[in-house]
Amino acid sequence: MLYCHKCGVNVLGSPRRCPLCQGDLSGTADPEQNVFPVIPPVPASLKRRLMTVIAFGTIAVAAISVGLNIALPFGNSADAEGGPVWWSFFVIAGLGSLWLSFLVINSQWWNIPKIIFLQLFVISILVLLWDFFTGFRKWSLDFVIPILFSCSMIALAVFAKVRNLKVQDYIMFLGFISVVSIFSLLLIIFHVVTIIYPAMICFTLSIISLAFLWLFEGKSLGEELRRRMHL
């Protein structure tokens, strides 16, 4: 083993000089000695194994649903119009919606405000599609979407307060959601919705959020807009 008298340290391997002071070394070099510790191979992470199990479960549920839909009598029973009831398609669509939402979260897991923002619009589109392909009874507009937007505004405000986020980390997301939420009033004015309370609550929260941003964070909002638009 080599030794540096100036630094007072032992040096493994067979270097020509001390790695700390570049001084001369005394002693006998041992080229066979491993300088770096042997690190055992890292096993598959828990996250990867969990993803594999979930993916397998998703495929299994989809396959079982299709099999039951074809084999069992109620799977091929006629509906009111005399056609087969392919309920397994809704199961597959639900699984696809779940995976789409998960991928959005997984791609932005370090940015919770952005996750809330992206998930809001992904789920809103999925809900509209579900409503449309199941007869468009407008439950998506009456309840789900206004409630989603209201909860998103509240969640962003609460999360920003609890985590002491900087204004620029959430102000654009909250501002954009609040602006879009104003249009919930149009759903009431043009009688698109039959249940007005969720849309009215959404509109009220949007006005409160925009008033807060304008009165208390107006300067920060203007700076963020100029920065993002390169003005």
Amino acid at 90: F
pLDDT at residue 43 in the model: 56
Residue among 163, 183, 167, 179 at smallest CA distance from 222 = 167
**Model confidence pLDDT, tens digit, residues 12-26:** 777 778 877 878 888
Token match 């391997």: residue?
13
Distances (CA, A) of 159 to 55, 61, 75, 204: 31, 35, 45, 20
**Model confidence pLDDT, tens digit, residues 65-102:** 888 888 875 544 444 454 556 777 877 877 876 787 67
Complete edge-to-edge strand list for the sheet that includes strand 9-11:
9-11, 2-4, 26-27
**Model confidence pLDDT, tens digit, residues 4-15:** 887 777 877 777
Query: Would the CA dihedral through 25, 26, 28, 33 be positive or negative?
Result: negative
Q: Which runs of consecutive H residues, i.e. helices, occur in the chain?
A: 46-71, 88-107, 112-133, 139, 145-162, 167-182, 184-189, 197-216, 218-229
Residue 59: both structure tokens together: 């495929």
For 224-228, which contacts have Cβ atoms below 8 Å and span 24 or more sequence positions? 224/167, 224/168, 224/171, 224/172, 225/172, 228/172
Q: Find out whether 196 and 188 touch, Cβ atoms under 8 Å.
A: yes
Residue 54: both structure tokens together: 């979930």
Q: How far apart are the first and last CA of the chain?
A: 63
Amino acid at 163: R
Q: What percentage of the chain exceeds 70 in pLDDT?
A: 80
Mean of all residue pLDDT scores within the chain: 80
Strands 26-27 and 9-11: unpaired
pLDDT at residue 168 in the model: 78
Global model pTM greater than 0.85:
no
**Model confidence pLDDT, tens digit, residues 164-216:** 877 878 888 999 999 999 999 999 999 999 999 999 999 999 999 999 888 88
